[in-house]
Amino acid sequence: MKLDYRQLNGIALAYMGDAIYEVYVRQHLLENGLTKPTKLHHIATRYVSAKAQAFLVEQWQAQGILTAEEEEFFRRGRNAKSHTSAKNTNVVTYRISTGFEAVFGYLHLSGQAERVAWLADWCIKTVESKGKTRG
């Protein structure tokens, strides 16, 4: 039985998307020579925190990165009723990050591996360029 991603709620899509995006970030960090678990976790947070993801959504919107369908799945995730509360961030940022993760979940579950890879790479580069612009 094949899973129908169109029937999943935003929280379920975000659940999958969180894992997918995290794999790309972890692989990127390992490829860059980071191997100590505590350092890996600390640096990974720059990419996967709710605040980082909300920043990336802002950049997606400013640059018109998402397709209309991806925007639809972003809204599904952002507007989903979550029974968990945000740790270390406000509710709005948390909901935006849920939308971010839902996009990755949708893309993965709909078999769009090339788009997932492109978008993850774009996100990683965008986070890194943000870090370089800070003094």
Residue 65 phi/psi, 5-degree rounding, is -75, -40
Q: How far apart are CA 123 and CA 103, in angstroms?
A: 13
- CA torsion sign for 115, 117, 122, 123 is positive
Does residue 18 have an active-site annotation?
Answer: yes
The residue whose two tokens read 């039985």 is 1
Catalytic residue among 11, 12, 18, 56: 18
DSSP secondary-structure letter at 58?
H
CA 103, distance to chain mean position in Å, is 7
Give the chain's length.
Answer: 135
Active site (catalytic) residues: 18
